Amino acid sequence: MNPILLGKRYKTRILRPVEYEMLEKGIKRQEKDLMTNLRATLLLGARYAECQRIQKHPEWFDGDFIFLPEEKKVKRKAPQRFIRLSTLGKFIMPYFFKSKPLPSRQAWIKNLKNWAINVGLNPVGLTTKTLRKTWESWLVFYYPKQIHAIFLSQGHTELTALKHYINLPFKEEDKKQMKKYVEGWI
């Protein structure tokens, strides 16, 4: 199966559910904090710097949503937003706030590539953007009638999201495997 790669200058990998699960298997059992951080960064669908920020602020989580206040340094269209979470995302957040802090961007990319190599997954295109783009792609494929809510939760304009996340080559088998991750997002 060929990897799904998006982007003009720098190609970013979009994972199918089976590929994401392979990535999880690449983490050693004793590294529970890394597993928690991987799951949380997928289920938040936030930019990596935003995930780092969120992890330091458990008070932003109300049990259903993450309120992400405005920050001048972060490049995004919306000054603040509410990040909607799936059922699994709501479950993971308390553990995410207690786990070891997310590493630097470079260390995270190295981790992603090492985990992929550990399980024989091609590491091409694995970047800090991979999990965010993967999550938005899954949501758009699974909940096509909720596109506007997805874009708002992700902090994207409709044009950006339409250019990048519509019409990706997912199959019905992928949709079945996405269910446990995206269920309850609406």
pTM: 0.91
Residues 73-119 pLDDT 10s: 655 445 789 999 999 999 999 999 999 999 999 999 999 999 999 99
Domain count, the chain: 1
Residues 134 and 22: beta-carbon distance below 8 Å? no
**pLDDT over 60 at 123, yes or no:** yes
6 inside domain:
no
10 Å Cβ neighbour count for 101?
9
Question: Which domain CATH number covers 81?
Answer: 1.10.443.10
Residues 151-175 pLDDT 10s: 888 886 666 666 666 678 899 999 9
Predicted local confidence at residue 30, as pLDDT? 79
142 inside domain:
yes
**pLDDT over 80 at 18, yes or no:** yes
3 inside domain:
no
Give me Rg for the CA atoms of the chain: 15
Residues sharing a CB contact under 8 Å with residue 138, sequence separation 6 or more, in sequence order: 17, 170, 178, 181, 182
5 inside domain:
no
Read off the pLDDT band of 146 (50, 70, 90): very high
**Residue 149 vs residues 47, 83, 90, 143, 165: alpha-carbon distances, Å:** 17, 10, 17, 10, 14
8 inside domain:
no
Query: Containing domain of residue 40, as a range?
Result: 13-179
7 inside domain:
no
2 inside domain:
no
158 inside domain:
yes
